[in-house]
C-alpha cells in the first residue's frame, strides 16, 4: 500500500511540473510576433502532429515493452528541448525543430501515465479507484496549465525569454519525481524471438486485436478522437480569435486560466458522474451538449462566445477520465500504452491534416466561416463513421475493427 501511495504521489508531482508550459495560451501570439503567418503556424502544428503520427505507436510500444518510466523520462527530455528551441528560434526551420520535439514529447507520454497509474492500482486490487485517480491527475494537469497560462501572460509582458527559460527550468525539476517512481509489476508480452522489429510488429498486432474484439468501444473512441481534434483547433486558434475580438493578451491568458480551473473541477467530479450515470448515457448527452455549445461559440455575441468556449472545454475535461476508465477496464497491462497510442495516432493524423487547412481557410474567409465549416465536417465525419459502424456490426464479421479504422481513415482523407 505504501509503494502504491508513493507511486501515485510521485506521479502527481511529476504531472504538475511536466504541464508547466508557460506559452500554452500565447504561443500563436509569440509566433506571430516572430513573423509567422497563420498558414505557417498551421504548418508548424502539422509538423508536430506528423511527428506524433510517425512515432505515436512505436513509442507506445516502448512503454509496454521496456517500461512506462523509461518512456516518461525520454518524453520529458524532449519537453526541455522544445523550450530551448522555442527560446532561440527566429526562423521557420528552427521553429520546426521545436514543434517536432513537442510532438516526440507527446508520443512518449501518451498512454504511459495512465498505464502507470492503472497498473500501480491493479497491483493492490484497487482498479475501481482508477477514475478517481486519473481524474485527480487530469485536474492537477489542468491546474498546472492554468497557473502556467496565468503567469505566462505576465512573463510575456516582460520578455519571451522568461516564458521559455522558466519552462526549461520546471521540466528539469520534473525529472526528480520521475526518478523516484518504482515501475509497477505488469503483464508482459511474450518473447516471440527473432529480431527486435519482429517483437514490435507483434505488439502492434496485439493493439489491433483489442480493437477487433471489443466492438463496444468503437463509438466512444470515434467520438473522443473527433471531439478532441476539434477542441485542439478551437483552443489554439481561439487565442488569436479572442485577440481579434478586442481582448488583450493578459485577458486571453485569464480566460484560459478560468477554463483550466473549471476543468479541474470537472475532472475531480468525473468519478461521481461515472457512478451515477451509465457510460453511454454520458456519451450521447455529452455529444448533444457539445453540438449546442459549438453552435453558440460560432454565432453568439462576444461574451457568449467566451462562455460557450468554457462550456465546450469542460465537456471534454469531464468525459476524458470516464472514457479512459471505460477503455482501461478492457485492456491487459501488456497493451495499455500501445492501444492508447493507436487512439492518439488517429487523433493526430486528423489534426495534422485539418490544422493547416483551417489556418489557410481563416486567412481567406475569417474565423466565423472557418469554425462553421469545422462544425459541418465534425457532424459529417461522425455520421459517416456511425453509419459504417452500424453496417459493420450488422454483418458481424471478424474484421470489423479494421473496417472501422479504415472508415475513420477515409473520413480523415487518408485514402
- How confident is the model over 117-144, as pLDDT tens digits? 888 888 888 888 888 898 888 888 888 8
Q: What is the mean pLDDT of residues 144-173?
A: 89
CA dist., res. 346 & res. 313, Å (int): 20
Question: So what's the pLDDT on residue 396?
Answer: 39
pLDDT, tens only, 287-332: 999 999 999 998 888 788 888 999 998 998 899 889 988 988 888 8
Is the full-model pTM beyond 0.85?
no
User: What is the SS3 assignment for 125?
Assistant: coil
Give residue 191's pLDDT band: very low, low, confident or very high (50, 70, 90): low
Question: So what's the pLDDT on residue 290?
Answer: 94
Domain residue extents for the chain: 2-181+194-411
pLDDT, tens only, 217-238: 888 998 999 999 899 889 878 8
Q: What is the mean pLDDT of residues 232-259?
A: 80
Q: What is the mean pLDDT of residues 86-114?
A: 89
Give residue 164's pLDDT band: very low, low, confident or very high (50, 70, 90): very high
Question: So what's the pLDDT on residue 405?
Answer: 40
Question: So what's the pLDDT on residue 342?
Answer: 81
CATH architecture designation of domain 2-181+194-411: Up-down Bundle (1.20)
Burial track 25-44 (b if 16+ CB lie within 10 A, e otherwise): bbbbbbbbebebebbbbbbb
pLDDT, tens only, 101-114: 999 998 888 778 88
Q: Chain-wide mean pLDDT for the chain?
A: 82
Question: So what's the pLDDT on residue 401?
Answer: 41
CA dist., res. 252 & res. 154, Å (int): 12
User: What is the SS3 assignment for 126?
Assistant: coil
Amino acid at each position: 500500500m505504501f509503494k502504491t501511495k508513493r507511486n501515485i504521489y510521485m506521479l502527481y508531482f511529476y504531472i504538475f511540473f511536466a504541464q508547466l508550459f508557460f506559452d500554452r495560451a500565447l504561443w500563436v501570439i509569440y509566433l506571430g510576433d516572430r513573423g509567422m503567418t497563420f498558414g505557417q503556424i498551421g504548418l508548424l502544428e502539422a509538423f508536430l502532429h506528423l511527428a506524433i503520427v510517425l512515432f505515436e505507436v512505436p513509442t507506445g510500444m516502448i512503454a509496454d515493452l521496456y517500461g512506462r518510466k523509461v518512456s516518461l523520462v525520454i518524453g520529458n527530455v524532449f519537453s526541455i528541448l522544445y523550450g530551448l528551441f522555442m527560446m532561440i528560434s527566429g526562423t521557420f526551420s528552427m521553429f520546426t525543430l521545436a514543434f517536432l520535439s513537442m510532438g516526440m514529447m507527446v508520443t512518449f507520454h501518451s498512454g504511459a501515465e495512465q498505464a502507470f497509474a492503472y497498473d500501480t492500482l491493479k497491483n493492490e486490487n484497487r482498479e475501481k479507484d482508477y477514475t478517481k485517480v486519473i481524474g485527480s491527475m487530469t485536474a492537477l494537469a489542468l491546474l498546472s496549465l492554468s497557473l502556467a497560462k496565468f503567469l505566462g501572460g505576465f512573463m510575456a509582458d516582460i520578455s519571451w525569454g522568461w516564458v521559455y527559460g522558466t519552462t526549461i527550468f520546471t521540466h528539469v525539476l520534473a525529472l526528480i519525481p520521475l526518478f523516484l517512481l518504482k515501475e509497477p509489476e505488469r503483464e508482459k508480452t511474450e518473447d516471440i524471438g527473432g529480431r527486435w522489429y519482429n517483437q514490435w510488429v507483434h505488439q502492434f498486432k496485439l493493439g489491433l486485436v483489442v480493437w477487433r474484439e471489443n466492438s463496444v468501444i468503437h463509438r466512444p473512441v470515434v467520438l473522443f478522437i473527433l471531439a478532441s481534434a476539434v477542441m485542439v483547433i478551437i483552443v489554439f486558434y481561439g487565442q488569436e480569435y479572442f485577440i481579434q475580438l478586442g481582448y488583450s493578451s493578459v485577458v486571453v491568458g485569464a480566460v484560459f486560466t478560468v477554463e483550466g480551473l473549471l476543468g479541474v473541477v470537472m475532472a475531480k467530479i468525473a468519478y461521481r458522474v461515472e457512478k451515477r450515470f451509465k457510460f453511454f448515457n454520458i456519451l450521447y448527452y455529452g455529444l448533444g451538449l457539445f453540438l449546442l455549445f459549438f453552435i453558440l461559440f460560432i454565432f453568439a455575441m462576444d461574451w457568449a462566445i467566451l462562455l460557450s468556449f468554457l462550456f465546450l472545454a469542460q465537456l471534454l475535461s469531464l468525459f476524458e477520465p470516464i472514457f479512459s476508465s471505460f477503455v482501461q477496464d478492457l485492456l491487459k497491462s501488456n497493451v495499455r500504452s500501445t492501444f492508447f497510442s493507436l487512439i492518439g495516432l488517429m487523433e493526430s493524423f486528423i489534426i495534422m491534416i485539418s490544422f493547416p487547412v483551417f489556418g489557410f481557410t481563416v486567412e481567406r474567409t475569417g474565423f466565423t466561416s472557418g469554425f462553421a465549416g469545422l462544425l459541418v465536417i465534425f457532424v459529417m465525419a461522425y455520421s459517416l463513421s456511425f453509419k459504417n459502424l452500424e453496417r459493420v456490426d450488422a454483418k458481424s464479421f471478424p474484421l470489423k475493427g479494421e473496417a472501422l479504422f479504415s472508415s475513420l481513415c477515409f473520413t480523415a482523407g487518408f485514402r
